[in-house]
Homo-oligomer: A and B are copies of this chain.
Amino acid sequence: MKLMNFILAPDSFKGTMSSDEVCDAMERAIKKNIPDAKVSRVPLADGGEGLVNALLRICGGRRVTAEVSGPLRDKMNADYAILPDGTAVIEMAACAGLPLVEDRKDPLHTTTYGVGELILHACAEGCKNILLGLGGSATNDCGIGMAAALGYKFYDSAGSELEPSAENMVKVSLIKTPDTRPDVSFVAACDVDNPLYGPTGATYTFGMQKGAAGETLELLDAGLKNMAAVIKRDLGADVALTPGSGAAGGLGAGVLAFLGGTLKPGIELVLDAARFNDLLADADIVFTGEGRIDWQSAHGKAPVGVAMRAKAKGVPCIALCGSVGDGAEAVYEKGITAFFSAVRGAGDFEQIKKTCKEDMYLLAESVVRTLMLSVS
- Residues of A in contact with B (beta carbons under 8 Å apart): 1, 285, 292, 316, 318, 322-325, 328-329, 332, 337-341, 343-349, 351-352, 362-363, 365-367, 369-376
Contacts and interface: CB of A to CB of B under 8 A. Distances in A.
A329 B285 CA distance: 24
A367 B285 CA distance: 15
A347 B344 contact: no
A337 B374 contact: no
A352 B344 contact: no
B370 A345 contact: no
A376 B1 CA distance: 8
Contacts of A344: 323-325, 341, 343
- Which of A285, A328, A369 has most chain B Cβ within 10 Å? A369
9 contacts: A323-B346, A324-B345, A332-B369, A337-B372, A338-B365, A338-B366, A340-B340, A341-B345, A343-B346
Nearest to A351: B346
Sort A-B residue pairs by CB-CB distance and give the 6 closest, nearest first.
A374-B374, A323-B345, A338-B366, A324-B344, A346-B349, A338-B370
A83 B8 CA distance: 52
A16 to B, nearest CB: 10
Contacts of A325: 344-345
A337 B376 CA distance: 12
A329 B352 CA distance: 19
Contact of A374 (B324, B338, B363, B373): B373
Contacts of A371: 370, 373-374
B366 A339 contact: yes
